[in-house]
Amino acid sequence: MWSVRRLLKAAVFAACLVPALRMTAGAVSLPGFSLGADPVAALLHGCGRWALNFLMITLCMTPLKELSGSMLPLRLRRMFGLFAFFYATLHLTVYIVLDQSGNVGAVWRDIVKRPYITIGMLALILLIPLALTSTARSMRRLGRRWTSLHRLVYAIAILGVWHFWWQVKRDIREPFLYACGLAVLLGYRLWKQRAAAVRISAARLAGIDAASAADPRSFASRCTGP
Ligand code: HEM
């Protein structure tokens, strides 16, 4: 019998697959599904968009866990991160196979000469070690280095939004919205880090050990007493 948590994970997994399934249905012209006049562009943009969406969703999980007190967002974070990698890989495959008709030389020239593609490629390359070390075993094996390595996701998200911004011709409204969302998600982390640093220096002044200061709740109890 599957636990509720497992059922929920399976449902979230299925939901994450829906964009790819819809694009596939459109690509094979299933009734009710269409990719419009330029199917290759629709697939390229669709996969790129969902790669960026899942990067943003992944970055929402830690604040969500802290604000809700529930561990569920952290349990789903790895799945969302791997879906960002999945859609970015699909995006690159569509670009190489369909958009550039498998012409590796042309792809290489684009990567070297078109800056927005250069940073898209850099974002994808940086995603590879994160995907490869997303297993629980890697987390145990790498310990603190795992946390430092996975902070790369911040740079990858910045590169993804920049890639999107640079490839739009005129209308920057959508990349701007993504940039604002990313600024809030990264700003929250900077604020939290700053608050922890202030607490630790205040603790030092008050002779409270740094470990208690790191956790806002135990710091408050140490300051105000039991
Ligand atoms: C993590 C990596 C990547 C992310 C998050 C990403 C994301 C995106 C996004 C959001 C778009 C715009 C979609 C839209 O207009 O709705 C896009 C377009 C595009 N991306 Fe990427 N991308 C990534 C990597 C790459 C790579 C590696 C390449 C090629 C080597 C690439 C080539 C393109 C191209 C050619 C377009 C369409 C540009 C146009 O229509 O003029 N992207 N990508």
Ligand 1 pocket test target in 164, 166, 177 with most atoms within 8 Å of CB: 164
66-96, pLDDT tens digit by residue?
999 999 999 999 999 999 999 999 999 999 9
- pLDDT, mean over the chain: 92
Question: What distance in angstroms lies between residue 24's CA and the mean position of ligand 1's atoms?
Answer: 18
* Pocket flag, ligand 1, residue 48 (CB < 6 Å): yes
As given in the structure block, the two tokens for residue 12 are 């979230």
Question: What distance in angstroms lies between residue 71's CA and the mean position of ligand 1's atoms?
Answer: 32
137-172, pLDDT tens digit by residue?
999 999 989 999 999 999 999 999 999 999 987 899
Residue carrying structure tokens 């974070």: 77
Given this model, what pLDDT does residue 186 score?
97
Whether 216 has a pLDDT exceeding 70, the answer reads: no
Given this model, what pLDDT does residue 2 score?
73
- Which tops the pLDDT comparison, 221 or 183? 183
Question: What distance in angstroms lies between residue 168's CA and the mean position of ligand 1's atoms?
Answer: 10
Whether 206 has a pLDDT exceeding 90, the answer reads: no
Ligand 1 pocket test target in 90, 96, 163, 164 with most atoms within 8 Å of CB: 163
Residue carrying structure tokens 């409204």: 173
Whether 222 has a pLDDT exceeding 80, the answer reads: no
As given in the structure block, the two tokens for residue 34 are 């269409």
* Pocket flag, ligand 1, residue 51 (CB < 6 Å): yes
pTM of the model: 0.90
Ligand 1 pocket test target in 23, 40, 44 with most atoms within 8 Å of CB: 44
| Residue nearest atom 43 in ligand 1 by C-alpha distance | 48
